[in-house]
């Protein structure tokens, strides 16, 4: 089966590689719990959700997917949810028609101009009715929400903490409802850690019912086989030595980085790439014209942390990027001290940078988790 070299969009069908163990783990967890899938950005979360959606029936689940990143009000969130419940893939005819009726009500509200008080009342009423609908789901259904943390950040930024708490409390209440739990499981994830967002805003209690599952890179063995399959698709002869060299260069074996470097090797148009070809491809990946592949890593810092903490985080990353083995922890501490950040804030920021896949603790140092990202940082951000 040939697997195509995809760089950016979520992958589906035969272009989705492996993740067998993770799929089995998630299905097993969903038997009993709602799940928060945690992974650094670009690790392959959305692709995995698509895969789960496509294979749900073999696990006796229906699965429906919604991305809620672009919304910033509770009504818009409910609109997105009702839309998938009322769609073709919805969980049964009874639900579909009730969801459609409620959706029509939401649609009417978004046309009418209403006061904030009325809007708050309306979303809570509709939220309560949605729960009634979820209580009547026949069989089992997984509702997958991608980019939920971005929606929560939007709520926080536009409407403040109290409103975010009200929403998160409602959502927790829905998840915890005994009757709804018989048929419904929630699987939430996003490119920003919901755990770090809620922890920072002291809202951690609103998500502590979710079972946490972490998604990381491929094992070396899977990454090697993945590259071999990609090479076969494009009739490229990749020796074990060259394959191993790609793995060494990438080191943090997330499929996106493997796909990126492979695409650069492909662009060289050599049938039998050697070690020098891989080095050349790697260097090309770091040139200006490929900057957009990594921009998200800079951009999301601002979204997640806001301007002041983003500045601190950039300073930490700059320090770690200077040396391939990172920066000593003591240097990081002094740096933050000099910037007026206390120890608690420093710990929080390093925690975010670690869980989002930027940095990793290495004995008494903090270094970049991905050499590729570090080299990008050096060439783009530090220059
Ligand atoms: N299972 C996989 N098989 C092959 N390639 C994959 C797989 N998962 C991810 N990729 C690669 O990673 C890229 C990003 O995947 P995806 O959009 O699913 O990640 P994400 O974690 O949702 O990213 P973001 O944090 O930006 O939302 C894809 O374009 C593809 O190159
Ligand atoms: Mg995604």
Instruction: Give DSSP secondary structure letters for 247-277.
Output: HHHH-S--HHHHHHHHHHHHHTT-SS--HHH
User: Torsion-angle region of residue 59: left (phi > 0), alpha (psi -120 to 50) or beta?
Assistant: alpha
pLDDT at position 200 is 86
Considering only CA atoms, which of 148, 127, 124 is closest in space to residue 69? 148
pLDDT under 50 in the chain at which residues?
Answer: none
**Domains in the chain with CATH codes:** 19-214 (3.40.50.300), 220-285 (1.10.8), 293-381 (1.10.10.10)
Going by alpha carbons, the residue nearest to atom 19 of ligand 1 is: 44
Q: Is 11 in the pocket of ligand 1 (CB under 6 A)?
A: yes
Query: What pLDDT is recorded for position 91?
Result: 78
Ligand 1 and 370: CB distance under 6 A:
no
pLDDT at 283: 95
Give pLDDT, residue 1.
63
Best CA proximity match to 146, nearest among 184, 79, 191, 213: 191
pLDDT in tens, 165-187: 999 999 999 999 999 999 999 99
Which ligand is in closest contact with the Cα of 222? 1
68 CA from centroid of ligand 2 (Å): 11
| Ligand 2 centroid to residue 336 C-alpha, Å | 31
Q: Which atom of ligand 1 is nearest to the CA of 16?
A: 3
Best of 44, 68, 258, 260 for a ligand 1 pocket test (most atoms within 8 Å of beta carbon): 44
Going by the DSSP 8-state scheme, the letter that residue 14 receives in this structure is G
* Residue in 148, 255, 261, 300 to alter for ligand 1 test, most ligand atoms within 8 A of Cβ: 255
Which residue, by CA, sits nearest to atom 15 of ligand 1? 44
- Looking at residue 196, its pLDDT comes to 87
CA distances, 87 to each of 69, 123, 129, 130, 360 (Å): 19, 21, 18, 15, 42
Q: How far apart are the first and last CA of the chain?
A: 43
CA-CA-CA-CA dihedral for 172, 157, 299, 8, to nearest 10:
40
- The string of pLDDT tens digits covering residues 209-232 is 999 999 999 999 999 999 999 999
SS3 content of the chain, % helix, strand, coil (to 5): 60, 10, 30
């Amino acid at each position: 089966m040939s697997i195509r070299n995809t760089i950016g969009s979520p992958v589906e069908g035969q272009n989705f590689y492996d993740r067998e163990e993770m799929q089995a783990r998630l299905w097993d967890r969903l038997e009993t719990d709602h799940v928060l899938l945690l992974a650094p950005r670009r690790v392959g979360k959305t692709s995995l959700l698509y895969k789960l959606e496509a294979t749900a029936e073999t696990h006796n689940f229906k699965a429906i997917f919604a991305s809620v990143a672009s919304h910033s009000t509770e009504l818009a969130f409910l609109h997105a949810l009702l839309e998938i419940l009322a769609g073709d893939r919805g969980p049964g005819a009874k639900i579909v028609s009730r969801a459609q009726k409620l959706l029509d009500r939401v649609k009417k509200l978004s046309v009418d101009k209403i006061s904030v008080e009325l809007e708050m009342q309306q979303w809570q009423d509709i939220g309560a009715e949605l729960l009634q609908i979820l209580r009547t789901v026949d069989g089992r259904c997984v509702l997958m929400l991608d980019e939920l943390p971005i929606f929560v950040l939007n709520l926080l930024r536009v409407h403040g903490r109290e409103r975010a708490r009200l929403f998160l409390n409602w959502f927790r209440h829905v998840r915890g409802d005994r009757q709804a739990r018989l048929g419904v499981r929630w699987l939430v994830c996003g490119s920003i850690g919901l755990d770090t967002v809620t922890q920072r805003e002291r809202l951690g209690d609103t998500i502590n019912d979710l079972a946490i599952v972490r998604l990381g890179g491929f094992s070396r063995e899977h990454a090697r086989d993945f590259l071999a399959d990609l090479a076969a698709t494009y009739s490229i002869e990749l020796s074990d030595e060259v394959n191993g060299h790609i793995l060494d260069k990438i080191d943090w074996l997330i499929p996106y980085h493997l796909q990126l470097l492979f695409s650069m090797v492909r662009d060289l148009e050599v049938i039998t790439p050697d070690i020098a070809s891989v080095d050349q491809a790697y260097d090309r990946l770091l040139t200006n014209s490929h900057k957009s592949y990594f921009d998200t890593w800079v951009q999301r810092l601002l979204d997640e942390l806001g301007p002041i903490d983003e500045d601190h985080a950039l300073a930490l990353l700059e320090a770690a990027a200077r040396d391939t083995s990172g920066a000593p922890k003591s240097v990081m501490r002094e740096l933050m001290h000099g910037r007026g950040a206390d120890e608690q804030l420093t710990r929080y920021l390093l925690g975010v940078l670690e869980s989002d896949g930027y940095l990793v603790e290495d004995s008494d140092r903090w270094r970049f988790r991905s050499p590729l990202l570090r080299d990008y940082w050096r060439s783009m951000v530090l220059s």
